[in-house]
Structure 1
Amino acid sequence: MTVDPETASPAAARAVVPGQRAPLPVTPPGGRAAWFAWWIGVSVYVLAVIHRTSLGVAGIDAVERFGIGASALSTFAVLQVLVYAAMQIPVGLLVDRFGPRRVLLTGILLLSLGQLAFAFSTSFGPALVSRAVLGCGDAMTFISVLRISARWFPAAKNPLIAQLTGLAGMGGNLITTVVLAQALHRQGWTASFAFVALLGIGVFALVALLLREAPAGVAVVPAAGRRPAVRSQIRDAWREPGTRLGMWVHFTTAFPGAAFGLLWGMPYLVEGQGMTRGEAGGLLTVLVGGNMVFALLLGRVLSRSARARMPITLTVIAATAVSWAAVLSWPGAHPPLWLLLILLVVMGTNGPASLVGLDYARSHNPPERLGTASGIANMGGFIGTVITLFGVGLLLDTLAGADGVHSAEAYRWALCWLFVPLGVGTGMILRLRRQV
């Protein structure tokens, strides 16, 4: 018996890949109970996105509070994202072995503790450690939600559910952009970040009391004696070309929008383009709104046909490259508003398109290593984001004037760094595409 790996569901993979694993229903039930379980899980992801993107609207405040430059500011985001990326494989193993509910609860605790410490930090060192703790908690959310969805929904719905999860996460980004940005201006640093930290209490209670990881009668994790060795679990997932293709798809499509929204968007628009914070925040909502619209659109397309995955990926990469080239090569220091709007709309496709990478990993691996394979794929975009955050920050400090001010011209040349990881990632996708 053979199964097409492009369209095989985890249940189908179970039928043709022998091994010792927990029994799964051939078709998960879906229905109201599935949506309820997904809703609880996704509430944790929304909270994680609020924590993750909180620094994006506080970059200028952080420079003043800690007395740091652009490269040191980028270190906050770099460390947070680097920890997130480094935790993906360990988190995938934990989800496979102990179930997503325990991992989500641990993630909420780490998110809350990290953000609370950040709220009261007054110097660079403690603040940096707190962002690392926050990144560790953030890493435990998305893969756990995807694992819950895979248990509750039929395989054909998984691409749509993944996109809806990303869409809900953009709601968290919108809260950060609109609400937290205003709170920082009115309530100050400590009160704003402490309030965000305390949101975790309610979400923790929700998960602890109401979340069901799987339908009744379905084992969430394999019995202790049936768990594969950690090394073989990672090795087998990595050897699968679909996993590596998924990682490079996630790498190349995710990082431009992530780096812009996570850190450099607000400084670029305020310092480089001369906008007020209110104008820049309003413009950044276009990025968030684009993510939400394209999540719905791509989710429906991908749930109907797996063949759309590569065309969507290459189209998003090309559109992102062309948009950035137009903005950075525009004559004069300030591209027109309409061009910036087009750029933000195009980058709104980045997050939804990156989930194509996770779909490649899901469809090419059997159920017992889905968490591990998803973790490997999910590393990609965050590694690309780290490279971009650090590279842009380093170039900005190199190009800064004698007074330390970053001009529009400095931002223009520093943001050209985006094309380096974009080119590397595209080359790897085209190479692995032939293998898969």
Structure 2
Amino acid sequence: MDKQNSKYRWVVFGSVLLTYFLIVSQRTAPGLITDQLMTDFHITASMIGLLTSVQFFAYAGLQVPVGILSDRYGPNIFLVIGTFLTGIGTFLYSIAANEYVLLVARLIVGTGDATIWINLVLILSVWFKGNEFVKLLGMAGMTGSLGFLMATVPFSIWISNTGWRPPFSTTGIIICLCGILLYFVLIRNPKKFEQTETKSTIKKSIQHHEKTSDILKRVFTNRQAWATFLCHYGTVGTYVGFIGSWAVPYGMNVFEMSRSGASQFVMIGLLGAMIGAPLTSWLSSKLGMIRKPYVLVHIVVLLCWSSFILFQGKPPFFMLILLYFLIGYGNGASALTFAVVRKTFDVKEVGVVSGFANMGGFISAVLLPSAFGKVLDHFQGAEASIGYFYGFMIPAVFALMGLIGGLLIKENSREVAQEQKRKHLEQPRQA
């Protein structure tokens, strides 16, 4: 039976998306308990920044290696292993007795999380046809935003009612159960589909491999690859790094919100992210270009972070809503990074370049929480808004680097011209 025509592919789709939803929620959920961790374990803001950074450091550092290994040995086993690691790390986090166990737990979570997105994309590309794949990839991105959404008000209410340990232990166990589910769905049961694969298909998958060092050399010396790296660095890393560490404490300390109230502002950013991906992609497609709308997004994100500095770390309350929404929108619009990759690079390089670009976003997410924490520690004892005033200079500089990346993008004019020619030739037929 053909995988791409089987009903079983929807079982695969549902299982993978459920797992992705839960795992994504654990990227930012620890940001909800920053103050509690500082109190329970008597740790500094710098240590909190390190806890967040180590998770994203593992994620960022493994993007390219995971892409290469999954391409060569198949995505199924890596997705299962990554799911188990995330579940185990989350559970370990919930029973930690000191900050060192917390650190190891977040490192394990980051390692597991690093395998998820790349292998999700590869699995969907195997089980679904091209036209289905594009639509479902958009749904996967939306599912990720919903995962982030879960780690705001719902998770915050759960923490308020039970304390922080039960929610993390329960979620860790559920993610491990998802690992068992994926083993049966992706590895154990689909053997009948594997038997139908022809020798030519297998031969083709083996022949396309190129020397890894040659691919990496091309990628790391390519201006367009670095442009996508910087784009993700400026939009994704600033948003994820801040949301995952200091967004909730910022609302609580500077605006004297409750934990639930501060989480609602995070939710506004997530709403922007959910709208940003489809709307910006649609506008880009309508205009027939990527660079100009993406540069505009980077300008808006830079202005938003700069506004926090302009208002001395405490913008007007009504303005805060708009700033969170637009910064979230920029994170969602970062899907254009991968549109640039697909239009520019050969198919055998897309996975590696996508991993490289994605790595840019999470290197930024690694650096921002720790640097932000050091700034807050330096101004400890002063008015809360002062520390955040200087802290917001960090994402503003990162956003400036993202804008530079957007300006460095070269539009693939040849491909655009070919697409316009194809549409022109099809018009008489349609008439």
Quick check: TM above 0.5?
yes
Residue of 404, 416, 422 corresponding to 1:427: 404
CA apart distance, 1:262 = 0.9
Counterpart-to-counterpart distance in 1, 2:164 and 2:329: 32
Counterpart-to-counterpart distance in 2, 1:31 and 1:169: 25
Counterpart-to-counterpart distance in 2, 1:428 and 1:292: 23
TM-score (norm 2): 0.85
Alpha carbons 1:108, 1:204 under 8 Å: kept:
yes
Corresponding residue of 1:316: 297
Deviates most, 202-211 or 139-148: 202-211
* Cα displacement string for residues 271-322 of structure 1 (whole angstroms, at most 9, x for unaligned residues): 12211112111221111222222233234445x4584422332122111222
Residue of 47, 71, 78 corresponding to 2:46: 71
Counterpart-to-counterpart distance in 1, 2:203 and 2:149: 35
* Cα displacement string for residues 208-263 of structure 1 (whole angstroms, at most 9, x for unaligned residues): 22246999637589666763333223224434544333222211221222122111
Compute the RMSD of aligned alpha carbons.
2.9
Corresponding residue of 2:80: 105
Deviates most, 220-229 or 370-379: 220-229
CA apart distance, 1:141 = 0.4
Alpha carbons 1:49, 1:169 under 8 Å: kept:
yes
Letter in 2 for 1:128: L
Corresponding residue of 2:264: 282
Q: Please list, as runs of the form range in 1=range in 2, the aligned pairs for 1:69-148 lying within 5 A after superposition.
A: 69-148=44-123
Counterpart-to-counterpart distance in 1, 2:128 and 2:206: 26
Deviates most, 147-156 or 108-117: 147-156
Corresponding residue of 1:267: 249
* Cα displacement string for residues 52-99 of structure 1 (whole angstroms, at most 9, x for unaligned residues): 112111111111122111111100111111111001011111211112
1:47 equivalent to 2:22? Answer yes
1:187 equivalent to 2:162? Answer yes
Letter in 2 for 1:310: R
Secondary structure class of the residue paired with 1:363 = helix
Change (3 A) 1:234 1:340: same
Q: Please list, as runs of the form range in 1=range in 2, the aligned pairs for 1:194-343 lying within 5 A after superposition.
A: 194-211=169-186, 217=197, 219=201, 227-301=209-283, 304=285, 307-330=288-311, 334-343=314-323
Alpha carbons 1:259, 1:385 under 8 Å: kept:
yes
Counterpart-to-counterpart distance in 1, 2:226 and 2:125: 20
Counterpart-to-counterpart distance in 2, 1:221 and 1:65: 57
Alpha carbons 1:162, 1:299 under 8 Å: kept:
no
Deviates most, 411-420 or 230-239: 230-239
Counterpart-to-counterpart distance in 1, 2:401 and 2:64: 22
Letter in 2 for 1:282: Q
Counterpart-to-counterpart distance in 1, 2:383 and 2:203: 52
Counterpart-to-counterpart distance in 1, 2:297 and 2:180: 39
Counterpart-to-counterpart distance in 1, 2:181 and 2:412: 44
Letter in 2 for 1:232: D
Alpha carbons 2:23, 2:175 under 8 Å: kept:
no
Counterpart-to-counterpart distance in 1, 2:128 and 2:114: 23
CA apart distance, 1:40 = 2.8
How many matched pairs? 405
CA apart distance, 1:34 = 5.5
* Cα displacement string for residues 171-219 of structure 1 (whole angstroms, at most 9, x for unaligned residues): 1111111222222222223222110101113322332222469996375
Residue of 388, 393, 398 corresponding to 2:373: 393
List gaps (5 residues or longer) in structure 2: 414-431
Letter in 2 for 1:249: C
Secondary structure class of the residue paired with 1:228 = coil
Secondary structure class of the residue paired with 2:334 = helix
Corresponding residue of 1:356: 336
Change (3 A) 1:326 1:223: closer
CA apart distance, 1:363 = 3.3
Letter in 2 for 1:258: V
Change (3 A) 1:39 1:244: farther
Alpha carbons 1:361, 1:370 under 8 Å: kept:
yes
Secondary structure class of the residue paired with 1:349 = helix
Counterpart-to-counterpart distance in 2, 1:156 and 1:301: 20
Change (3 A) 1:45 1:254: same
Counterpart-to-counterpart distance in 1, 2:130 and 2:286: 12
* Cα displacement string for residues 385-415 of structure 1 (whole angstroms, at most 9, x for unaligned residues): 22222221111111222xxx66112111211
Change (3 A) 1:308 1:158: farther
List gaps (5 residues or longer) in structure 1: 1-24
* Cα displacement string for residues 22-71 of structure 1 (whole angstroms, at most 9, x for unaligned residues): xxx9xx96896665543332222212211211211111111112211111
Alpha carbons 2:9, 2:127 under 8 Å: kept:
yes
Counterpart-to-counterpart distance in 2, 1:339 and 1:377: 31
Identity value in percent: 22
Change (3 A) 1:382 1:432: same
Change (3 A) 1:428 1:89: same
Counterpart-to-counterpart distance in 2, 1:70 and 1:414: 12
Letter in 2 for 1:382: F
Deviates most, 208-217 or 125-134: 208-217
Change (3 A) 1:427 1:297: closer
Change (3 A) 1:167 1:68: same
Counterpart-to-counterpart distance in 2, 1:30 and 1:301: 32
Letter in 1 for 2:294: T
Alpha carbons 2:232, 2:402 under 8 Å: kept:
no
Deviates most, 366-375 or 255-264: 366-375
